[in-house]
Homo-oligomer: A and B are copies of this chain.
Amino acid sequence: MSYARQMLDTYQRTVNLDPGLLAAAIDAAGDCAQACTADNDADLSEANLADLVRCIRLCLNCTDVCAATAAVLSRPAEFDPDLTRPLLRACVAICISCGNECARHAPHHEHCRVCEQACRRCERACQDLLDALN
């Protein structure tokens, strides 16, 4: 069980959110931030670097948005849907863009295939949480 889930289980939660959905989004966003950072570094070593510029830029944005999303979701005590909703939407949007771009390079670069998986998983986990908020 991840620390995120263990932590949520120690709370006197006042917010009516499923801890499984919340922990899944926290873990997926944290993992996606890491995968995008690593994919970036790997892209920069490839011979077809010029083809990977868009991938690098999307990975950089994805890292920053996923990290902020993981942090805000890790503070459920003062949960505010007016903040969380647009932030999750931003996270879903960049995970879709970044996942699609990584998918284009996945046949040639194993690191893009792994990164695509991390983006898809984060997209789904954030979308599931968004659906639960609405």
Contact = CB atoms under 8 A, between A and B. Distances in A.
Interface string A42-81: 1011000110011011101101110110111011111010
Majority-rule SS of A interface residues: helix
Interface residues of A, number: 62
B44 A114 contact: no
Copies per complex of this chain: 4
15 contacts: A6-B114, A7-B42, A11-B45, A30-B30, A40-B60, A41-B74, A41-B75, A44-B77, A45-B53, A49-B53, A61-B75, A61-B83, A65-B72, A67-B67, A82-B93
A60 B75 contact: yes
B83 A90 contact: yes
